[in-house]
């Protein structure tokens, strides 16, 4: 695949919708001015994708920043997610309407099932299909789904997920999942790409020194060269800007493999097979 060379570039989902390669995540960003300022800073620095979720409790502030940005709505790609307590067909439809109202948007660009859980995700996803068919969302998908969850869902759904957003970083490379998603044209997206700040790894520093980049920038470039959409979070404008400064260099195949070799199957978040509800 050709590697993205600017923050303006996007991948094309299997339904033809364009999704930016790099976006801002707002997990743990406080509702109110902190979220407004972070989203405003991101948009000012060329970001066009913002990723939130009902459980983050900051959709309203994301919506405010979007409304005040002065950027044409059609240029932005906004993702939110249905939380576990709202899983089920009717409750998902209600949760979506609440998210849409808080965001102040007529159409959501991407709506995701946040976690698979035990036994409701197929019913929940059926609601996403309804929203998609009704034109209320431009794309639908899942988050934190392993291969077996995807296989189970794809055995019953009528619209294949367009995106699977999972924990993905050099200590959790998820090769089997990445290959499965590639094979089935499901776009993999990385949350916690920067390992919640656990970047003190000699190889990343060494490569950073070589390219004049930070370890964080090396990891984000590694994501992009794997064809993985990535959504680093920050509330500081200098860091938001720095996270986007990853389009002017390219890691070699050997360097990509070396970073892959850091894998420890280590999660900083929950294991989807153990986070049951």
pLDDT over 90, % of the chain: 97
What does the pLDDT average to over 41-66? Answer: 98
Question: Tens of pLDDT along 167-186?
Answer: 999 999 999 999 999 999 99
Which sign, positive or negative, has the C-alpha torsion 10, 11, 15, 16?
Answer: positive
End-to-end CA distance of the chain: 38
The CA–CA distances, whole Å, from 135 to 48, 140, 160, 173 equal: 21, 11, 16, 34
What does the pLDDT average to over 54-66? Answer: 98
What's the CATH class of domain 10-191?
alpha beta
Is the pLDDT assigned to residue 3 strictly greater than 90?
Answer: no
What does the pLDDT average to over 88-103? Answer: 98
DSSP the chain: -PPP-STT-EEE-TTS-EEESB-EE-TTPPTTHHHHHHHHHHHHTT--EEE--GGGT-HHHHHHHHHHH-S-GGG-EEEEEE-GGG-SHHHHHHHHHHHHHHHT-SSEEEEEE---TTTTHHHHHHHHHHHHHTTSEEEEEEES--HHHHHHHHTT-SS--SEEEEE-BTTB--HHHHHHHHHTTPEEEEESTTGGG----HHHHHHHHHHT--HHHHHHHHHHHTT-EE--B-S-HHHHHHHT--SS----HHHHHHHHTT-----SS--TTT---
Q: How confident is the model at residue 252 (pLDDT cuts 50, 70, 90)?
A: very high
Question: Tens of pLDDT along 204-213?
Answer: 999 999 999 9
Question: Tens of pLDDT along 195-228?
Answer: 999 999 999 999 999 999 999 999 999 999 999 9
Half-sphere exposure of 43 (CA within 13 A, CB side): 24
Q: In degrees, to the nearest 5, what angle opens at C-alpha 177 toward C-alphas 26 and 115? A: 45
Is the pLDDT assigned to residue 2 strictly greater than 80?
Answer: no
Question: Tens of pLDDT along 229-240?
Answer: 999 999 999 999
Average pLDDT in the chain: 97
Amino acid 1: pLDDT: 65
In whole angstroms, what is the distance from residue 81 CA to residue 141 CA? 9
Give me the active site residues, please.
Answer: 56
Taking alpha carbons only, the member of 42, 152, 203 closest to residue 211 is 203
């Amino acid at each position: 695949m050709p590697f993205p060379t600017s923050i303006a570039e996007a991948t094309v989902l299997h339904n033809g919708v364009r999704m930016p390669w790099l976006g801002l995540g707002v997990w743990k960003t406080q509702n109110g001015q902190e979220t407004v300022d972070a989203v405003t800073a991101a948009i000012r620095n060329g970001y066009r994708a913002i990723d939130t979720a009902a459980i983050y409790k900051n959709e309203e502030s994301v919506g405010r920043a979007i409304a005040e940005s002065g950027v044409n709505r059609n240029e932005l790609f906004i993702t939110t997610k249905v939380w576990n307590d709202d899983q089920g067909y009717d409750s998902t439809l209600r949760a979506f309407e609440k998210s849409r109202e808080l965001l102040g948007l007529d159409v959501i660009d991407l709506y995701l099932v946040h976690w698979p859980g035990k036994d409701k995700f197929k019913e929940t996803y059926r609601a996403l299909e309804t929203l998609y068919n009704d034109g209320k969302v431009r794309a639908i998908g899942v988050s934190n789904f392993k291969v077996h969850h995807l296989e189970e869902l794809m055995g019953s759904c009528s619209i294949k997920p367009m995106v699977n957003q999972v924990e993905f970083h050099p200590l959790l490379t998820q090769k089997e999942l990445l290959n499965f998603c590639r094979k089935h044209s499901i776009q993999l997206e990385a949350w916690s790409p920067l390992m919640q700040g656990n970047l003190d790894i000699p190889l990343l520093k060494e490569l950073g020194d070589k390219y004049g980049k930070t370890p964080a920038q090396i990891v984000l470039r590694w994501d992009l060269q794997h064809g993985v959409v990535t959504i680093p979070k920050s509330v500081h404008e200098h860091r938001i800007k720095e996270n986007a400064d990853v389009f002017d260099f390219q890691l070699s195949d050997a360097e990509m493999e070396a970073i892959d070799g850091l894998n420890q199957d280590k999660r900083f978040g929950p294991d989807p097979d153990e986070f049951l509800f």
